[in-house]
Amino acid sequence: MATNPWSLIVPVKLLALAKSRIADAAGPHRQALALAVAADTVAAALSCPLVGAVVVVTDDALAAAELAAAGARIVPDEPDRGLNPALVHGAGRARLDGPVPVGALSADLPALRPAELTRALTAAADHENAFVPDLAGTGTTLYTASAGVVFAPAFGNGSRDRHVALGVKEIDLPDIPSVRRDVDTADDLREALALGLGPRTERVARLILGRGRPQ
């Protein structure tokens, strides 16, 4: 079991490049959506009682400023070699002061609930390495490593199968949909809206989807 608070590593792309799969639906709100989703994800993670720190790896100046103001620690993407090296870099910075448990959390979880993240991290703490699959069952939204354990995430297309093949424990709880509902498409955004979006994402989603909460 983890005895120290978790440090979560959240990767945030340059806003101009983010949310490419929802670009047509989002139109002029694309960058605002990307920042809102990241901000709501970070805010929920910081509200989780098991989380001691959120480390955001980003080279985007606007995202860095806003997420730092929210309480995240900002680390530039010095490796600049892709997602997994960026996450490893962030985890290394988080562990400079000691061997804390670390997790890589998707920045695309605008419906994230602290209570559900607590359940996921509690389950993950029983294993050296663990991961939570996305709702599609092909990707990963959370990857964890206990204190002192090698942190070696394998995010990217088909990451769920890669993590399983690497022997990482799959955390497939039925009651953590907000931890699993990442948002890449307009349909994903509608499903996240049904779960209950964070306040910043909901404001932008209303503009994109043309409606408020489902009745």
106 has binding-site annotation: no
Counting Cα atoms < 13 Å in the Cβ hemisphere of 63 gives: 32
Long-range contacts of 162-170 (CB under 8 A, 24+ apart): 163/131, 166/129, 167/129, 168/129, 168/130, 168/131, 168/143, 169/124, 169/127, 169/129, 169/130, 169/131, 170/130, 170/131, 170/132, 170/133
**Residue 74 per-residue DSSP state:** E
> Annotation-wise, does 159 bind a ligand?
yes
- Could you give the domains of the chain? 6-206 (3.90.550.10)
Residue-by-residue pLDDT tens, the chain, 215 positions: 446 799 999 999 999 999 999 999 999 999 999 999 999 999 999 999 999 999 999 999 999 999 999 999 999 998 889 999 999 999 999 999 889 999 999 999 999 999 999 999 999 999 999 999 999 999 999 999 999 999 999 999 999 999 999 999 999 999 999 999 999 999 999 999 999 999 999 999 999 988 434 33
